[in-house]
């Protein structure tokens, strides 16, 4: 029996019912971003269910502690406003947990009733509920707008809005906003910048926060994360590289327009050509030459792409996920001469389809793209036109099992495998890992399906 | 170094509370009890089911989670539509491990799906009722389900969408279109801000299921000794194991609320002869209402722990009073206990004397103490996220419980006898005889009487208290949920998740007990905990130098 037995081949138009979404809501993205600040406790201004759900999802994804406070709205607060709850929360959080920063985001509840969080935060400071030397940043993250990616972008912008402070002197650094990527990816971006000898401020930075060690000693606020000092200093950088338009452009544009820090918006550096663009932009912005180590890594990736091309050529892939990730993945698949056949994102944004069409214009296939689509739609497309490979989060395993198609887990959330928090998929090294995973999925399937007569030792 | 004298439980409490601002300390004081022995505890009450302190880092969730996630989530053939922005539906999509057996041909199974109206800004501003109507229509057109349920989320109540009106209207409309396919449509006002926790959601779910479904079908199915199992959600296959045992004894399961359940089971719940309540907190409302309406008595059972399982089976057999059943139950227990005893003989020497703490939901923090007892382990601290005073102190305190302002708006249904179908299952005489023999109807004694002197009972525990408890009391195992798991384990103490069982289970019944013994042995005796310190941290000074 199939697990998604009610998904029919016949496609009927839907205008109101979303089935098996390819997105979730804003605050979890904001919570993730806030965890990328050193010494920060994220805070959810809403009823406590949201906060529990968001913490649970991130915990299941990372297998790491995820702390966050909540205003714990009751029915009374929902009618008369949540100011008292938030003021109380500030006092309790600082007295009991003593973070350096509290990063507050909202939910559909506090947004619908119209709570003014910056005003409440201001009042908290004036009333001494925020101790000297401690900081509060806020971001408005209504769940009924956009997706978790929007929430991430809003909180990243909230960080610089609340903290970036212009000084007379430039700091000689480049701001890098890594986008909604894994801690391992943020670590890889730092490594590449170090190899390039470019001093950067990476924000947010969850590396070391959501991929920590087990030592028997517990730090509620781990060593990782961008510091408040660094965030203040983002206003004095030479420029900003924003990776991933959906996740990073808001903050980059804010620094550009408010503090005259010029920005360049790129895609996520995932796959060969997108990593090329990142390294090239970094080189030009910082005025540095690319070291031999990086060219060597690039050459290794190209080498494997060549070695295993025969197993990739014209293989069809169905993908679901977040727009910045999907754009980069599609570009990578096209560079491998694969066919990204069906693509679905739950996150709204007009530019998405345009970008996908541009990347796939020479692909010999009419690519299906749906913005604000869902996995039910994707599954129906697959039933009508099967593919060789699926790339997406853990929820795709139900389609993978029903349709007997191999799945490469990528994106948020991955609830049933390890790796994403430790091994990057960005950069040339990440490209190599992603390619290995794709090949492993395809070749494992080949080994399973090949008849005994042509079962090969070497591939 | 002289070893520090162990703190008394009262000192532990004091140490923890002294960190708090005065108002917080005063409140937590009432939710944090030191067990002073059975007699002293008769007069002590715990504060529970009160609002959460903002910013305290609670374990708690919301009313929507209690309603949609817990009670209605496990039923496979109802299309559950979340009316709200996408998050609530997404997070409750397959994240509770309510297993279901939909292997019958043509069996519907919507549990693998997430249905949502995915409200946008437009819906918040202009109202979401039209979109909800259309979503119900689309669900009907695509799936032709037996029932569609609608769940409200936070903004729905605020913007004034009338979900019940939409449900009524769509039910009428769709049943007129195709009289051969009856669809039941009903809604739940389970906005996240209602009440103070998941608990309000249980109550709302109980009320609506009782109003719209239970009693719809009063035809008795085949089989002897007809019972309903209430408050058992089939996490990790628990209900499958209970069903296996009941089957073996010849007891017929009429309906389950709601592990491995179907719509039809809810509908025919009114014909059973006995209600067995596992999770008291979540389902006692339905049990009470069925007793009033149809005269079905209810008893508290517990299938967690081999001895508790045996005890519960004997209770059921005693209730029916049939010699054939009583004998069969004894045979089954004797047969099943062989494997249980063999496993215990292996495991118990390695677990005896170890200590556990349990801070879980509204029921398991009590039930699982039985399993630890079987392992020779002591439970030194326990508490619930969202239970009420009766779950701690026993139902005897119900008349004294004051419903506070935060929970007053949760509806209490007024139920009357069903004139056509009311049928007391036992005569007054029979009831008296059973009670004289020690049988307790409609009774739950709560967690506190089962705990030892000098243990700690803590309601709505938070991150600070969890961490301090572990630091000071160093339990060998801590039981809680996913949010606590990795924080506790960073401190070097294994955490057993008693919500999702760390993907293990079943832990109910006899086979479940065996699974649990092995799992606890694995956790408390794992080599992992010996590796936390690197060799160079144990002896940082170099005592010799290698000369090449």
ipTM of this complex prediction, to 2 decimal places: 0.98
Q: Which of these is catalytic: B28, B35, B60, B62? A: B62
Active-site pick, B28, B202, B328, B395? B202
Q: Please give the pLDDT value at position B1.
A: 46
pLDDT confidence of residue B136: 98
Amino acid B538: pLDDT: 85
The answer to whether the CB of B53 falls within 8 A of the CB of A72 is yes
Residues of chain B with pLDDT under 50: 1
Query: Which CATH superfamily includes the segment(s) B63-212?
Result: Nitrogenase molybdenum iron protein domain (3.40.50.1980)
Q: Determine the pLDDT at residue A319.
A: 98
Identify all chain A residues contacting B155, using CB atoms and an 8 Å cutoff. 108-109, 112, 144
Count CB-CB contacts under 10 A for residue B472: 13
In chain B, the residue whose alpha carbon lies closest to the alpha carbon of A221 is B487
Size of interface A-B (CB pairs under 8 A): 255
Distance from CA of A177 to the nearest CA of B (A): 25
The answer to whether the Cβ–Cβ distance between B192 and A1 falls below 8 Å is no
End-to-end CA distance of chain B: 38
**Is B388 a catalytic site residue?**
no
By CB atoms closer than 10 A (0-12, 13-18, 19+), residue B463 is buried
Q: Give which of A8, A20, A72 to mutate to test B binding, by max B Cβ within 10 Å.
A: A72
- Backbone φ and ψ of A138, nearest 5°: -130, 155
Q: What pLDDT sits at residue A231?
A: 98
Residue B317 structure tokens: 């057999």
Has residue A248 got a pLDDT over 80?
yes
Q: Is the pLDDT of residue A381 over 90?
A: yes
CB-CB: which of A18, A53, A63 is closest to B116?
A: A18
Q: Which has the closest alpha carbon to B146: B290, B229, B265?
A: B265
Residue B489: its H or E element: helix B482-490
- Decide: B210 and B270 in contact? Cβ < 8 Å: no
Q: Do A27 and B123 touch (CB under 8 A)?
A: no
A73–B409 CB contact, under 8 Å: no
Return the pLDDT at A1: 81
Q: Using CA atoms, how far apart are residues B174 and B139, in angstroms rounded to an integer? A: 11
- Chain B residues with beta carbon closer than 8 angstroms to that of A15: 134, 138
Residue B202 annotated to the active site: yes
B62 belongs to the catalytic site: yes
pLDDT of residue B2: 52
The beta-carbon neighbor of A90 closest among B55, B490, B491 is B55
Q: Do A147 and B86 touch (CB under 8 A)?
A: yes
Task: Enumerate residues 6+ apart whose C-beta is below 8 A from B197.
Answer: B49, B52, B60, B61, B62, B63, B66, B385, B386, B460
C-beta of residue A203 within 8 angstroms of C-beta of residue A225: no
Residue keyed to tokens 């000092």: A229
Q: What was the pLDDT predicted at B541?
A: 75
pLDDT at A352 exceeding the cut of 70: yes
Chain B nearest-CA distance from A107, in A, is 9
Q: Is B154 on the interface with A (CB under 8 A)?
A: yes
List pLDDT tens digits, range B264-295: 999 999 999 999 999 999 999 999 999 999 99
Known catalytic residue at B281: no
pLDDT band at A182 (very low <50, low <70, confident <90, very high): very high
Three-state DSSP state, B119: coil
Domain with CATH 3.40.50.1980 in chain B: 1-60+351-394+446-548, 63-212, 225-350+395-436
Using CA atoms, how far residue B404 sits from A330, B50, B87, in Å, is 56, 8, 30
A283-298 pLDDT tens trace? 999 999 999 999 999 9
CB neighbour burial string for B46-59, b if at least 16 within 10 angstroms, e if fewer: bbbbbbbbbbbbbb
Interatomic CA distance for residues B87 and B80, integer angstroms:
15
Domain B225-350+395-436's class? Answer: alpha beta
Cβ B87–A1 below 8 Å, yes or no?
no
Tokens of B202: 């249980």
Say if the Cβ atoms of B485 and A59 lie within 8 Å. Answer: yes
Pure H helices in A102-243? 108-113, 117-126, 148-163, 183-195, 228-233
Would you tell me how many other CB atoms lie within 10 Å of the CB of residue A280? 12
Query: Among residues B65, B190, B200, B272, which one is catalytic?
Result: B65
* Residues of A whose CB is below 8 A from B490: 65, 212, 214-218
* Domain B1-60+351-394+446-548: assigned CATH number: 3.40.50.1980
């Amino acid at each position: 029996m199939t697990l998604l037995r009610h998904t029919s081949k016949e496609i009927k138009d839907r205008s109101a019912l979303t089935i098996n979404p390819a997105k979730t809501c804003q605050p979890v993205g904001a919570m993730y971003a806030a965890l990328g600040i050193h010494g920060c406790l994220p805070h959810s201004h809403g009823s406590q269910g949201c906060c529990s759900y968001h913490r649970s999802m991130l915990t299941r994804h990372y297998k790491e502690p995820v702390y966050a406070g909540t205003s714990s709205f009751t029915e009374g607060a929902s009618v008369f406003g949540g100011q008292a709850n938030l003021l109380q929360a500030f006092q309790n959080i600082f007295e009991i947990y003593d973070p350096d920063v509290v990063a507050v985001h909202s939910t559909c509840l506090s947004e619908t009733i119209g709570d003014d969080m910056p005003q409440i935060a201001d009042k908290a400071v004036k009333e001494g509920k925020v101790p000297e030397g401690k900081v509060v940043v806020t971001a408005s993250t209504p769940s009924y707008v956009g997706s978790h990616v929007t929430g991430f972008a809003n909180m990243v912008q909230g960080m610089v809005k609340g903290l970036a402070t212009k000084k007379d002197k430039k700091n000689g650094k480049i701001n890098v906003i890594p986008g909604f990527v894994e801690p391992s990816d943020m670590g890889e971006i730092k490594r590449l910048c170090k190899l390039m000898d470019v001093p950067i401020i990476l924000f947010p930075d969850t590396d070391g926060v959501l991929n920590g060690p087990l030592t028997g000693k517990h730090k509620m606020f781990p060593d990782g994360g961008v510091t408040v000092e660094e965030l203040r200093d983002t206003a004095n950088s030479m420029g900003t590289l924003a990776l991933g338009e959906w996740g990073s452009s808001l903050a980059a544009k804010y620094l550009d327009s408010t503090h005259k820090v010029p920005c360049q918006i790129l895609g996520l550096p995932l796959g060969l050509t997108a990593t090329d663009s990142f390294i090239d932009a970094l080189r030009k912005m910082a005025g540095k030459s690319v070291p031999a180590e990086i060219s060597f890594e690039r050459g290794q990736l190209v080498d494997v792409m060549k070695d295993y091309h025969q197993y990739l050529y014209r293989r069809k892939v169905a993908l679901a996920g977040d727009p910045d990730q999907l754009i980069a993945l599609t570009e990578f698949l096209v560079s491998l001469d694969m066919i990204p056949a069906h693509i679905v994102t739950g996150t709204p944004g007009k530019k998405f389809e345009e970008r996908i069409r541009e990347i796939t214009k020479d692909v010999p296939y009419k690519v299906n793209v749906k913005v604000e689509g869902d996995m039910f739609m994707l599954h129906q497309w697959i039933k009508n036109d099967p593919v060789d490979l699926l790339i997406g989060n853990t929820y795709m395993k139900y389609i993978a099992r029903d349709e007997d198609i191999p799945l490469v887990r990528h994106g948020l959330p991955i609830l049933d495998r390890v790796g994403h928090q430790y091994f990057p998929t960005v950069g040339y090294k990440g490209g190599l890992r992603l390619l290995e995973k794709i090949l492993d999925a395809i070749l494992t399937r080949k080994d399973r399906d090949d008849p005994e007569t042509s079962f090969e030792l070497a591939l | 170094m002289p070893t520090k004298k162990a703190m008394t439980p009262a000192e532990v409490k004091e140490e923890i509370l002294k960190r708090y601002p005065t108002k917080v300390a005063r409140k937590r004081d009432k939710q944090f009890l030191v067990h002073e022995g059975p007699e002293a505890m008769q007069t002590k009450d715990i504060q529970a089911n009160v609002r959460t302190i903002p910013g305290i880092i609670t374990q708690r969730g919301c009313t929507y989670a209690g309603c949609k996630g817990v009670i209605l989530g496990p039923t496979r053939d109802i299309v559950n539509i979340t009316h709200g922005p996408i998050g609530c539906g997404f997070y409750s999509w397959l994240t509770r491990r309510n297993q279901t057996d939909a292997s019958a041909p043509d069996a519907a199974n919507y549990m693998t799906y997430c249905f949502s109206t995915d409200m946008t800004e437009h819906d918040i501003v202009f109202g979401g009722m039209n979109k909800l109507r259309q979503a119900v229509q689309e669900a009907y057109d695509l799936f032709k389900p037996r029932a569609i349920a609608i769940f409200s989320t936070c903004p729905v109540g605020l913007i004034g969408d009338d979900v019940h009106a939409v449900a009524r209207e769509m039910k009428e409309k769709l049943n007129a279109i195709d009289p051969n396919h009856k669809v039941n449509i009903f809604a739940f006002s389970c906005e996240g801000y209602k009440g103070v926790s998941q608990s309000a959601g249980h109550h709302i779910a109980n009320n609506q299921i009782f109003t719209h479904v239970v009693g719809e079908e009063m035809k008795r199915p085949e089989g002897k000794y007809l019972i309903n199992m209430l408050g058992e959600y089939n996490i990790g296959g628990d209900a499958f194991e209970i069903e296996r045992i009941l089957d073996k004894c010849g007891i017929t399961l009429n309906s389950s609320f709601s592990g491995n359940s179907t719509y039809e089971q809810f509908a025919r719940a009114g014909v059973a002869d006995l209600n067995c309540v596992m999770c008291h907190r979540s389902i006692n409302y339905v049990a009470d209402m069925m007793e009033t309406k149809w005269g079905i008595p209810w008893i508290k059972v517990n299938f967690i722990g081999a001895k508790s399982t045996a005890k519960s089976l004997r209770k059921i057999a005693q209730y029916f009073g049939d010699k054939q059943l009583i004998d069969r139950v004894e045979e089954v227990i004797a047969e099943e206990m062989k494997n249980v005893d063999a496993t215990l003989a292996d495991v118990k020497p390695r677990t005896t004397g170890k200590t556990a703490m349990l801070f879980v939901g509204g029921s398991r923090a009590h039930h699982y103490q039985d399993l630890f007892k079987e392992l020779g382990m002591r439970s030194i601290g326990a508490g619930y996220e969202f239970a009420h005073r009766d779950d701690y102190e026993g139902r005897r305190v119900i008349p004294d419980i004051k419903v506070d302002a935060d929970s007053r708006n949760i509806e209490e249904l007024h139920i009357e006898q069903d004139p056509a179908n009311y049928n007391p299952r036992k005569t007054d005489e029979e009831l008296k005889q059973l009670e004289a023999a020690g049988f307790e109807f409609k009774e739950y004694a709560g967690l506190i009487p089962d705990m030892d002197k000098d243990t700690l009972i803590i309601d709505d525990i938070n991150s600070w208290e969890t961490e301090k408890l572990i630091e000071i009391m160093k339990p060998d195992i801590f039981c809680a949920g996913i949010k606590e798991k990795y924080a506790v384990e960073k401190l070097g103490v294994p955490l057993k998740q008693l919500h999702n069982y760390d993907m293990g289970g079943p832990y109910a019944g006899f086979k479940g007990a065996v699974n649990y013994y092995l799992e606890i042995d694995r956790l408390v005796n794992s080599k992992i905990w010996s590796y936390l310190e690197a060799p160079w941290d144990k002896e940082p000074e170099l005592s010799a130098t290698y000369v090449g």
